[in-house]
Structure 1
Amino acid sequence: MVKRIKRNAYTLMMTALGLLLVGGIYFSFVAPKEVEVGVSLDKQYSSVDEMKQEAQLIVEGTASTKQQGIRYQNMLFTVTDFHINKTIKGHADKKTIRILETGGFDGKNYLTVEGNKIMDKNQSYVLFLQKYQGSVTNQDAYVIIGAYQGKFAVDGNNISPALKVAPAIAKLETKQALIKDIQDQ
């Protein structure tokens, strides 16, 4: 009886160690990791008003499931189709526009800018945008003001500003407060 208990305990212990080893290998070598990319921002915006003044287009809508990764000069970029539900400022020629962001998933790692990931598929956002001009893509696209600063994830009436934004922007918690801030200026 004692031998059987010892044998079962040994088997259980070896199984647990094996599972820990497999889990450790997976999380160390196989599972995607977040890799932060440091960028030099042209401007650190201190308020919604500053972003509004420089934005050519402010829209509310949803990121689609269609995303395309682009490698350019050893940097990963992602183009996401964005379906506009409401235009707050400016005019878009189409109801679906393309958004170019720095970062994305390279098949192994999630590349982020200052901890900010690219837009999540099927997630709603309010975006402050400028027309893209450059050589990363020849597609007609927009970029988010301040790389990520003009991106607000929307969940019902709640919003989540990007990470590492100015305190006046970070304190915004509701879509109503953000829209009011845009319209009051």
Structure 2
Amino acid sequence: MSDDHTHVQEFFTARAAGWDAKFPDDGPAFAAAVAELGLRSGDRVLDAGCGTGRALTPLRAAVGPSGVVLGADLTPAMLAAAVRAGRDRAGRLLLTDVAALPLRAECLDAVFAAGLVAHLPDPAADLRELARVVRPGGKLALHHPVGRAALAARQGRRITPDDLRAEANLAPLLARSGWHMTSYVDRDDRFLALAVRGG
């Protein structure tokens, strides 16, 4: 595992047990973001960097019993918290790096990723890997329950021009990685960028 991956794993291992309690009101934001993906019954979807699995239940509701819901995360403690919360009943959990998914090419209809981009060691390559497992025309949702400014304030920092989630940076990053950004929302109560995989 690279130093970047070790750092991410250590960061989330230390926070896993209290994660849901720290953000108890995020549920509706996750459900609203999942709704924007426009999933249909029977679709196959991955929650990339699923953490404690807060998106798994709305993803399962969107694809129905015939759909496939996968949750992938690098940190065992986060997946253990998902199991404790019973969210493993909504989808299959995979302990894996989203940069090297154990999935065949073009096997999914969509990827949902909450708070992931900032933790990717190689964002262009890692977003390319997400594109690899999604069929042409499939969708990607990059979500955060609060916008960039609100998140920066919460963390006691300032937004810098090189912030990957800034629209001017994210659109070309996605384009280099096999995606075309179709919508972008960044306000205090929501961050959501939607993209479609190129053919």
Tell me the TM-score normalized by structure 2.
Answer: 0.25
Larger radius of gyration: 1
Tell me the TM-score normalized by structure 1.
Answer: 0.26
Looking at secondary structure, tell me which structure has more strand per residue: 1
Q: With CA pairs under 8 Å and 6+ residues apart, which has the higher RCO, 1 or 2?
A: 1
Looking at secondary structure, tell me which structure has more helix per residue: 2
